[in-house]
């Protein structure tokens, strides 16, 4: 079958996967490349417990992943070449849930009234940074231990029933010191850091709930010891992003509520001592969601609302959408030298939104340019660039020196964008169909959260491909970074298996939870067994044409593109006759390929061996979330 004009529709959901592709002469093809992403490696925290990845940074051959952990921590990875690695070494076989050795134990514990599950008990949780080689092999763990302020681990504690809490929500490397990282985040209760001199430094917060304090630190990941740590002891303070300057100093950005309205801040810390060189809160902003740095210049993005706001003190007045009543995104360049911040330029993006704990909009500095991504809810113009807001998101390229718009495009929202200068990758977490252009809507993997990854050409912003990443449980992408080998994203997963291309990795924590509940993991189906666990994936810088597709011109819609006999190419996956979709759309596992009927649509659903409801296939006997029913 040729791809010149075909339509692939999930007839049961009514969500279009691809609309009819027009002849190439009629339009500029977007998201039409035959090449698909290939996973270099992917890994789970396989230790029994709960862990989450919130931040990631690359430096000098290593990927650093920040987050928090409860119970036991043990990162395992599956590689493109078929090898499997953990901290004990590599093998050619995937471990089973009975073979997991512990890399770091958090020593969390339960209580009889509130935290009764040892895999989910928050008493003593650790804020952690995992050091992983660029090849995906785990190296070491840095951990700061949390506890309650008063040492009471019941609901009578000053920190309340939820005990202490901490996470590394921000990480950055140092170009001049490969083993050093800057980290930041937020905490409640006591948070204790092991120091390079053998001592322990503890920062403290006696408040409850989300009344967090912020922290910033510098850590030597060669020794897993902190050189310095400092807190931001103001109510409701979230350090959302960190960066390092060419002088070796640390920038921290985020927002704080204090006793009044939430406001965005930018701070500079001396890289040697941790002393706060300067701190500024920007009136009219609600958050500085991300900071990147090249040299001594900080590039920041965030949100503001109001009329005639002198954004970042740059001397130009801005009014957010609808006469200052809406939240708008902005991006700016700031001289971040030790003498104090001086705003160089500011650009208003347009009406936007964040989340409860936003890390978007995001800004990525690459070469002479910036790439900014986020949500867009109304029409807007940036210099000579214009966007309608119809797709809910934006991707914008700016000249780094002047802020002048190079190109701007309407596309799906993104939590994060990263670039190697040639391509741009974006990531979004959603459980809804994702519209990337007028021609492409990706259905979700099921009714769970999925990660959507899209790739664009950096020169002009043309979309190359977009794919979902997920299993039958929830997946979230929290942060991403670029490496010489390709982009890396981090987040959490609750699926039993994840697949991209030829790489498949099993979530052993999922299997462990099923076993402890009295079920045989090899036969049991439970989409949400176990706690959420840290998940990391690196995709290759170079993509690959699916093996069942012949694509001489490189475009799916070209007249010379064809599918091999005996195969279907649906949901961006090659499926042989009689087989079902598992990799990209496991919730379509009750639909099978019959190439005599169609090579671009799967047939089904099979309601003999499956139930089909809420737009997803459910194997007979599947248990619901957290329970034992079928």
Does the pLDDT of residue 12 top 60, yes or no? Answer: no
The confidence score (pLDDT) of residue 527 equals 65
With a cut of 60, say whether residue 315 has pLDDT above it.
yes
Tokens at 438, concatenated: 């007028």
Q: How high is the pLDDT of residue 479?
A: 97
pLDDT in tens, 233-249: 999 999 999 999 999 99
Percent of the chain with pLDDT over 70: 92
The residues facing 282 across adjacent strands are 264
Share of the chain above pLDDT 90, in %: 73
Residues 253, 268: Cα–Cα separation, whole Å: 9
Which range has the worst mean pLDDT, 108-117, 148-157, 234-243, 440-449?
Answer: 440-449
Mean pLDDT of 366-395: 97
Arithmetic mean of pLDDT, 305-329: 97
The pTM assigned to this predicted structure is 0.93
Encode pLDDT of 543-572 as tens digits.
999 999 999 999 998 999 999 999 999 988
Q: Residue 131: is its pLDDT beyond 60? A: yes
All structural domains of the chain with their residue ranges: 8-34+548-619
Spatial contact of 445 and 425, defined as CB atoms under 8 Å apart:
no
Bigger pLDDT: 513 or 221? 221
**Torsional class of 114: left (φ above 0), alpha (ψ -120 to 50), beta (otherwise):** alpha
pLDDT at 585: 78
Model confidence band, residue 16 (pLDDT cutoffs 50, 70, 90) = very low
Alpha helices in 459-532 (DSSP H): 508-516
H or E element in which residue 321 lies: helix 321-324
Instruction: Find, among 228, 221, 231, the residue nearest to 187 by Cα.
Output: 231
Among 292, 468, 289, CA closest to 364: 292
Cite the DSSP H helix spans in 120-238: none
Q: Give the Cα separation of 311 and 316 in Å (integer).
A: 7
Neighbours of 367 (CB within 10 A): 12
Q: Looking at residue 5, what is its pLDDT?
A: 30
Instruction: Check residue 515 and give its pLDDT.
Output: 79
In tens, the pLDDT along 474-533 reads 899 999 999 999 999 999 998 888 888 889 999 988 888 777 777 777 766 666 677 889
Which range is least confidently modeled, 163-167, 361-365, 376-380, 499-503?
499-503
Percent of residues in the chain assigned helix, strand, coil, to nearest 5: 5, 50, 45
Provide the mean pLDDT of the chain: 90
Count, residues in the chain: 630
- What pLDDT, on the 0 to 100 scale, is given for residue 497? 86
Q: Which residue has the higher pLDDT, 527 or 594?
A: 594
pLDDT above 50 for 371: yes
């Amino acid at each position: 079958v040729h791809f010149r004009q075909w339509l692939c529709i999930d007839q049961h959901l009514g969500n279009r996967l691809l609309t009819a592709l027009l002849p190439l002469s009629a339009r500029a093809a977007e998201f039409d490349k035959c090449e698909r992403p290939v996973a270099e490696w992917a890994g789970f925290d396989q230790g029994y417990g709960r862990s989450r990845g919130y931040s990631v940074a690359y430096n000098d051959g290593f990927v650093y992943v920040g987050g928090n952990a409860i119970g036991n921590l043990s990162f395992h990875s599956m590689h493109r070449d078929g090898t499997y690695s953990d901290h004990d070494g590599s093998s050619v076989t995937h471990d089973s849930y009975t073979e997991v050795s512990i890399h770091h134990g958090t020593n969390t514990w339960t209580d009889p009234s509130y935290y009764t599950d040892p895999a989910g008990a928050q008493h003593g949780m650790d804020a952690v940074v995992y050091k992983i080689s660029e090849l995906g092999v785990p190296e070491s763990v840095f951990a700061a231990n949390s506890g309650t302020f008063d040492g009471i681990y019941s609901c009578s504690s000053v920190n309340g029933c939820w005990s202490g809490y901490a996470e590394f929500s921000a990480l950055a490397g140092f170009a001049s010191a490969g083993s050093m990282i800057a980290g930041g985040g937020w905490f409640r209760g006591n948070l204790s850091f092991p120091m390079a001199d053998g001592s322990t430094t503890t920062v403290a917060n006696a408040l409850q709930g989300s009344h967090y304090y912020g922290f910033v630190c510098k850590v030597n990941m060669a020794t897993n010891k902190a050189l310095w740590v400092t807190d931001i002891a103001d109510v409701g303070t979230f350090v959302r992003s960190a960066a390092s300057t060419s002088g070796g100093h640390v920038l921290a950005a985020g927002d704080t509520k204090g006793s009044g309205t939430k406001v965005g801040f930018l701070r500079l810390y001396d890289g040697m001592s941790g002393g706060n060189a300067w701190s500024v809160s920007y009136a009219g902003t609600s958050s500085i969601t991300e900071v990147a740095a090249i040299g001594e210049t900080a590039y920041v993005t965030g949100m503001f609302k109001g009329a005639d706001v002198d954004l970042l003190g740059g001397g130009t007045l801005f009014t957010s959408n609808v006469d200052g009543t809406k939240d708008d995104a902005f991006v700016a360049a700031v001289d971040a030298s030790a003498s104090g911040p001086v705003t160089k330029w500011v650009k208003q993006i347009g009406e936007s939104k964040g989340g409860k704990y936003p890390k978007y909009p995001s800004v990525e500095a690459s070469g002479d340019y910036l790439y900014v991504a986020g949500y867009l809810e109304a029409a807007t113009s940036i210099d000579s660039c214009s966007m309608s807001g119809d797709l809910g998101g934006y991707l914008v390229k700016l000249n780094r020196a002047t802020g002048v718009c190079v190109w701007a495009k309407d596309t799906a929202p993104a939590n994060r964008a990263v670039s190697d200068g040639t391509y741009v990758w974006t990531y979004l977490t959603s459980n809804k169909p994702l519209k990337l252009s007028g021609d492409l809507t990706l259905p979700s993997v099921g009714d769970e959260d999925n990660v959507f990854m899209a790739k664009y050409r950096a020169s002009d912003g043309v979309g190359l491909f977009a794919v979902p990443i997920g299993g039958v449980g929830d997946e979230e992408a929290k942060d991403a970074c670029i490496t010489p080998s390709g982009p890396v994203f981090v987040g959490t997963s609750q699926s039993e298996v994840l697949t991209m291309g030829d790489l498949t990795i099993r979530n052993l924590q999922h299997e462990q939870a099923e076993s402890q509940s009295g079920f045989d993991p090899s036969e049991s189906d439970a989409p949400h067994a176990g706690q959420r666990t840290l998940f990391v994936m690196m995709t290759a810088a170079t993509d690959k044409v699916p093996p069942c597709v012949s694509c001489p011109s490189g475009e799916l819609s070209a007249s010379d593109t064809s599918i091999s006999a005996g195969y279907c190419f649906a949901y961006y996956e090659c499926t042989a006759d009689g087989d079902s979709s598992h990799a990209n759309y496991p919730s379509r596992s009750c639909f099978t390929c019959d190439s005599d009927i169609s090579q671009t649509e799967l047939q089904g659903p099979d309601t003999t061996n499956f139930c089909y409801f809420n737009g997803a296939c459910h194997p007979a006997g599947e248990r619901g979330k957290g329970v034992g029913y079928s």
